[in-house]
Amino acid sequence: MPRRLGLPSVYLAAAVATAATTAVPLAMTPAAGLAVHRAHAEPARPYIVTARNREAARDLVGEVRWRVARYYTSALPGFATFLTPTELDELRADSRVRTIEPDREIHSMAVRAPQRPRAARGGAGVTMYVLDSGVATRRTRFGDRVWRAFDATGGTGRACGRHGTRVAARAHHAAPKAQIASVRVLGCGGAGTLADVLAGLDWIHRHARGPSVANLSLDGADSPALTRASRSLMRTGVFVVGAADGEPCRLSPDGRAFSAHAPHLAGAAARHLGRHPDTDPSALSAWLECTTARSAIRQNPSRPHNLLVRNGGL
């Protein structure tokens, strides 16, 4: 891929992996790439296109004008593509398109562990999806409860860097009986692309069964595509927990939870689902007693632990 595109190195690596694993004809598989496209003199840059609906997304992907890298079939009606400035203007004017945003680097976020004793049990029958840099499957405390579920970067799912394993360990600390599905979306340096994170959510959307929690200790909360994909996952019954700087627990209007203690919060949710597997995400959000705005946290400075988990947690 020519350097004139001005892409960060992490995106170049992800693009190479995508080209090697998803360059297939329009037959068409989830997150598939189109190999046929015309040459352009203008520089092309990566974007995420969200369509109005799935039919519109299929129509747009079927038009070989766009160099499609990934096509999302479940969590998001849209695709990742490379566009020239002219094509970008053309798509922005298309009534089938809801939003277009630049694909960009997504980074892991530091997570803190609240001072709580390790739970002896809890979370049985629940799957915790850890979207990160991969979770180590050997010589860990997880035993046979962890597996490599999906690798959006084009690799084998093997852990690269320690962030994903640390996140999984903190979630496991709160729900030691839960299963841990490693969904690798970041590289060794703790950075990845928005396109790959969306591919991870798309995979979970297609494969999650039974009571489930998805943990994203990543930045990117300001992405319209990531927000829409996370909301879609919530509607299928998967509780979504994201990272947040300095906040014990906060809810978005759609019920997603954000916390500086995101892995522990995911584990606490898994413990509750282990006892009450039919709890839907909205009811689980209410049980966690998160605030709905930063101002509410300031108004209740004496309740940081109750904000995290009801009555001192699990």
Pairing label, strands 257-259, 238-243: parallel
> 87-97: b or e for each residue (b if 16 or more CB lie within 10 Å)?
bbeebeeeeeb
Strand order in the sheet with 45-51: 67-72, 78-83, 45-51, 97-102
Give residue 217's domain range: 107-312
Domain count, the chain: 2
**In this structure, which amino acid lies at residue 237?**
G
Chain mean position to CA 115: 26
Q: What is the pLDDT at residue 314?
A: 32
Q: Check: CB of residue 309 under 8 Å from CB of residue 269.
A: no
State how far the Cα of 232 lies from the Cα of 234, in Å rounded to an integer: 5
State how far the Cα of 47 lies from the Cα of 65, in Å rounded to an integer: 14
Clarify whether residues 92 and 180 are in a common domain: no
State how far the Cα of 71 lies from the Cα of 76, in Å rounded to an integer: 9
For residue 278, count CB atoms less than 10 angstroms from its CB and return exposed for 0-12, middle for 13-18, buried for 19 or more. exposed
Chain mean position to CA 188: 17
pLDDT digits (tens, 9 = 90+) for 246-299: 777 888 888 899 999 999 999 999 999 999 999 999 889 888 877 654 333 233
Instruction: Measure the CA angle with vertex 128, ends 127 and 129; round to 5°.
Output: 110
Element containing residue 304 per DSSP (H, E): helix 304-308
pLDDT at 26 exceeding the cut of 70: no
Q: What is the pLDDT at residue 2?
A: 34
Clarify whether residues 151 and 196 are in a common domain: yes
Question: Rg (Cα) of the chain, in Å, rounded?
Answer: 20
State how far the Cα of 77 lies from the Cα of 231, in Å rounded to an integer: 13
Clarify whether residues 54 and 183 are in a common domain: no
Clarify whether residues 85 and 231 are in a common domain: no
Q: For residues 170-178, give the mean pLDDT.
A: 94
Last residue of a domain, one of 73, 103, 133: 103
Chain mean position to CA 211: 17
**In this structure, which amino acid lies at residue 54?**
R
Peptide bond into 234 cis (omega under 30): no
Q: For residues 179-206, give the mean pLDDT.
A: 97
Last residue of a domain, one of 103, 132, 155: 103
CATH code of the domain in which 219 resides: 3.40.50.200
pLDDT digits (tens, 9 = 90+) for 81-102: 999 999 999 999 999 999 999 9
- Residue 149 in tokens: 């579920």
Contacts of 82 (CB under 8 A, 6+ apart): 5, 44, 45, 46, 47, 66, 67, 69
- Residue 32 in tokens: 């598939």
Which comes out higher in pLDDT, residue 17 or 40?
40
State how far the Cα of 189 lies from the Cα of 133, in Å rounded to an integer: 8
Q: What is the pLDDT at residue 85?
A: 95
CATH code of the domain in which 65 resides: 3.30.70
Clarify whether residues 66 and 121 are in a common domain: no
